[in-house]
A and B are shown apart, each in its own frame.
Chain A
Amino acid sequence: MEVPFSEVEESYLPPEDFSITTGESWELHITLEDGRRYQSTPEMATSPVSISEIEASYNPELEFNINEDDFVPGHKVFVTLDDPAAEDNFYLWRYRSFERLIACETCAGAIFRDGECISFEEYEAQFGPCIDENAIEPEYTYTCERNCWRIRFNEKIEIFSDEFTNGVSGNRLGVADVLLYTKNNLLIELQQYSLTAEGYRYFRILKDIVDNNGNFNAPPPAALLGNMFNVEDSEEFVLGRFTIGLASTASLFIDRTAIEEDPLEPERNNIETSDLFSGNGLKVRSTAPCSEGRFRTSVRPSDWIDN
């Protein structure tokens, strides 16, 4: 069976009703505009392993952050799973986190009108002089017009192989580091993918490149060669990998209101908007839209708990 992919916002996606079940084997075929053809070796869908429990523990010194030049606080998320004994299992975890966004826009040296930050000079050039220079603040913050959630993603490659723990039931594994960017409550949506041995090896090289590169024993970086090849030229190095991962998902709501440590991002929860500029048809404005996208949504996450 051949399934065509279609282009959506710089991504190529299969049809929405397309699904894969355990044991199926698929190949990816790519033909570029200039006729070069690439193909993957067959990739097998391995059975997902269900997550029996998800929990998080807070650590005021979760990890050393080089940008902060100090240890930073955050939660470590753990899952418990029953590792199947019959096979070698390889796991990959990714997450999306949702937190309520209060301030949807901040304009530095500018004000928010018509969906963008406009500098005062530009504003006055357009609408005539109407700004009292003594009243200008360095920046203006606008609350979200309606419910809005900030989406963040995992920043590390979290993988695990059961080479030393095959068949262990109730295996508790740390699968995500969620830094305390803000102290707003947070919902984690975790996906646990099952990989093949080759897929795991590829993600381990990726992990070495992305996460394990700043240490005394940093492995020298390697090319991300996966399972893709040029059909006409076996000597061409093709980067990237066609990976099938069947996922189990779990969600966890984390209440962070009682945490004492300062968050990594400046707190913007008490916004006193002083943008009172108006004139020539423009109104005083204190809010901004949610701007849906990869990093924001106004769609309430299904496991969100209101408080």
Chain B
Amino acid sequence: MNVRLGMLVFFFGLSFTLVYPQEHQLAFKVLDGTSNLPIKDANISIIPCRCGGASDENGEFSIYLQEKSYRVTLSFVGYESTRMSVDLKKDMQLEVKMKPKQERLSEVIVKAKKVNEMITSPQMGVLQLESQELKKIPTALGELDVLRGLTLLPGVNNTGEISNGISVRGGSLDQNLVLYDYAPVFNPTHLFGLFSIFTPDVTSSIDLYRANIPARYGGRASSVLDIKVKTPYADTLKLSGGIGLVSSRLNLETPLIKDKLTLVAGGRAGFTDFLLPIFSRRLKNTKASFYDGTIKLLYLPTKNDQITFTGFYTKDFYQLDLISRIENIEAENNQYDFQNLNGTLNWQHSFNEETALRTILVSGTYNADNIFPEIDSSNEIEFNSRIKHLSFISEFSKFKPAKRLDYYLGTQINRYKIDPGALNPGTATSITPITLAQETSYELSGYANLNWEPIRFLTLSTGLRYTYYFLQGPYTQNEYDNVSGNVVNTEVFEKGEVVASYDGLEPRLGASIRLNPTTSLKMSYARLNQYLQNIYNNTTPLPTSRWKTSDVNILPQTSDAYGLGIYKSFNENRIEASIETYYRDSRNNLTYRPGADFFLEQFVEREVVQAPGRAYGVELSIGKPKGNVNGWLNYTWSRSQLRTESESLSGRINNNQWFNSDFDRPHTLNGTLNYEADEYNTLSFNFVVQTGRPLTLPNGVVELSDGIRAPIFLERNNSRLPTYHRLDMSYNVHFSKSKKNKRWQNDWTFTIYNLYGRKNPLNVFYTQRNGSENSDIFLDSPLGSFELLVLNAPLFSLTYNFTFQ
């Protein structure tokens, strides 16, 4: 992390020296406090010039600066940061002895860590949420939550308290590539969107790319969420964990063979059945449990090689009366059961200080099942669906710190095998077994990316990705009549035959122009293609929602995103502010045909409509990143709309006029405030206020011959839910149990989610009225109208966390 920041600061520093003439030399010599040996690549950052750099082989660094007072921070992996004030009135030479951190890592580990950080340094245009920041954010029931934390960043939304993913800049939930140590995650939440699935304590970095997307990523049309698991650079045992209302966690970080093999393992288990009926009697038939676990092994065979293996497993099981039952299967109830199982093998070889080769093999399976216990029987009817994916990545990267140039080029091969659904009757004689045909598809990509500072003041990031996609037989491809939807032609493809193929060049461009020492202008452009999509007709997908590869009928989704932003810092970098604007033009977005049903649907292509889309917005952000009182405030104005181009009336949505997508949120204001009173007490708040989600309201009511009153809907998303707003609070008390034993540390986190008990509705729905019930509310309205709420009161929770190291 430090290295990334240092590089950026370094570029800006040089431009500064040209602007101001009256200068003195400020030189440093950085030494190890114990051995007195010079430290190379220590970060030196200087405020208020926001300049600095890295020490050379002799531990030396020098810079010419204006006559002024400066605050200097020196940092290096494995050492405690050193801060000092410098009153620069003449040329100065300072010798700094850095103190190794208590948890001092061995030289091998430190070196490995440094190489890794160099290779994984991200490009500009990334929003980062560090796990330390994440821990401060007050969350529902005290669960650390990656996705919910991200919704506090500008341009990131979800569908409410229940959201099986995030929406980035108006894109749909499946348009984000979610990677957990390079492995794609198809269902990122536990319990139908209540909590994120990623094992909280082993997460090391969360990078969200939403504008200038590096060429190494591809396959989804709106953004990339790259979550990395902590690499166990450990040479002592560290144990941590927590006990919460919803889940309990345990993590272990330990060397297995000193300086050769280390391990981090984390797990979480949650049982919430007993909690839910407290909220409503309606939840009394609910069953819910979830688990997730991550292990990562680091093997250092030579000083130039690092091999890691990451294993990730999650499991959810739930039964909830508030999910509509699946039609046409008679059962006691409907249960959902799903698992993610991913494995990532990553070999990094560094040839020298400047070049490295990374080779990655990813394999994973996502299983999503429905279980239907048969009435008056012990038999269970099952619906099974599965995605198996396999991925190979090889990437060569080169860094030329002196020339301020780095580049990488690589290749990626992905294979997806989708089993869209099978109905397994068990011993039930009344159910016909059904198996939908498997879909096998490949994405072959080559990519290159160059980050370059051709002239001072300008940093360029250019990338190009080429992908060849094909769907492979066996496959039965139907052609449909545009208007009637009837099958007009069927073509059967043999095993290995190419059913459909698409290819595309995806240019990526980013430019950062430094206007003055505190102001920069950034521009970006990215084209993205998406060949794999989630098909669902709810506001948020169920775990069993169908994933579909592009074929002859379902064209790949593409998007062109343009961005422009101005970034400025004030008050000696204590305040950071930015304005970003974007426009995203997309094609072939998937939306459901009115009245679509996708469960075990053989002709699923007929039930979806592909529509062009447009999303645009302005994001204002102001933040104070440091100090005892820190936080940020974001305001976003944005729109997200779609338009169908269907010939048939039944395929048209809003008669082919632009309509608001489910993710259209014109106004969003959110803020976070942390008050770190001392090293023991932290108080945090976050606040969100946002335009309500688009909603479809009836245009009228009709009474049917059996007396049922049916609301009449003519348009989609013609109205909105009430404004969403919420304030959360968390209070963290950190203490050491014994002052002598600093290895054992504890903290308590008390959170109140929805502090003032705002009743934010998730949906509005209508019921039949029989007689005069609730007539004081509904008067003589033909239908009763209700709001579906997830929370109608503040939610309190207390979590205990411990660390032993």
Interface check B328, CB cutoff 8 A: yes
**Chain A hits for B490, CB < 8 A:** none
CB closest residue in chain B, given A229: B649
Interface check A107, CB cutoff 8 A: no
A168 touches B767 (CB 8 A): no
Contacting A217 at CB < 8 Å: which of B538, B707, B771? B538
Q: List 6 A-B contacts (CB under 8 A).
A: A168-B432, A181-B770, A205-B595, A206-B710, A216-B762, A237-B714
B713 touches A221 (CB 8 A): yes
Interface check A3, CB cutoff 8 A: no
B323 touches A223 (CB 8 A): no
A160 touches B767 (CB 8 A): no
CB closest residue in chain B, given A205: B595
A225 touches B707 (CB 8 A): no
Interface check B324, CB cutoff 8 A: yes
**Chain A hits for B594, CB < 8 A:** 205, 222-223, 225
Contacting B328 at CB < 8 Å: which of A165, A181, A220, A239? A165
B764 to chain A, nearest CB (A): 9
B330 touches A173 (CB 8 A): yes
Interface check B434, CB cutoff 8 A: yes
CB closest residue in chain B, given A71: B281
B773 touches A168 (CB 8 A): no
Interface check B711, CB cutoff 8 A: yes
**Chain B hits for A205, CB < 8 A:** 594-595
A164 in contact with B708 given A214-B788, A215-B322, A220-B537 (CB within 8 Å): no
Where the two chains meet, the residues of B that have a C-beta atom closer than 8 Å to any C-beta of A are: 162, 192, 281-282, 320-324, 327-330, 375, 423, 429-432, 434, 537-540, 542, 592, 594-597, 600, 649-650, 655, 696, 698, 702, 704-708, 710-714, 716-717, 762-763, 765-771, 773-774, 784, 786, 788
A200 to chain B, nearest CB (A): 10
B774 touches A67 (CB 8 A): yes
Q: Complex Cα distance A165/B430, Å? A: 6
Chain A interface size band reads 35 or more
A236 to chain B, nearest CB (A): 9
Contacting A225 at CB < 8 Å: which of B328, B431, B650, B696? B650
**Chain A hits for B320, CB < 8 A:** 216
> 1/0 per residue A195-223: CB within 8 Å of B?
00000010011111110111111111111
A219 touches B600 (CB 8 A): no
A239 touches B322 (CB 8 A): no
**Chain A hits for B762, CB < 8 A:** 216
B324 touches A218 (CB 8 A): yes
> 1/0 per residue A60-81: CB within 8 Å of B?
0000101111110000000000
Interface check A171, CB cutoff 8 A: yes
CB closest residue in chain B, given A83: B430
Q: Complex Cα distance A237/B652, Å? A: 10
A95 to chain B, nearest CB (A): 9
> 1/0 per residue A147-166: CB within 8 Å of B?
00000011111011111111
**Chain A hits for B329, CB < 8 A:** 164
A153 in contact with B707 given A164-B329, A215-B324, A221-B713 (CB within 8 Å): yes
A164 touches B432 (CB 8 A): yes
Q: Complex Cα distance A221/B596, Å? A: 10
B328 touches A161 (CB 8 A): yes
B591 to chain A, nearest CB (A): 10
A164 in contact with B595 given A210-B708, A224-B710 (CB within 8 Å): no
Interface check A94, CB cutoff 8 A: yes
A175 to chain B, nearest CB (A): 10
CB closest residue in chain A, given B770: A155
Q: Complex Cα distance A205/B597, Å? A: 9
Interface check A296, CB cutoff 8 A: no
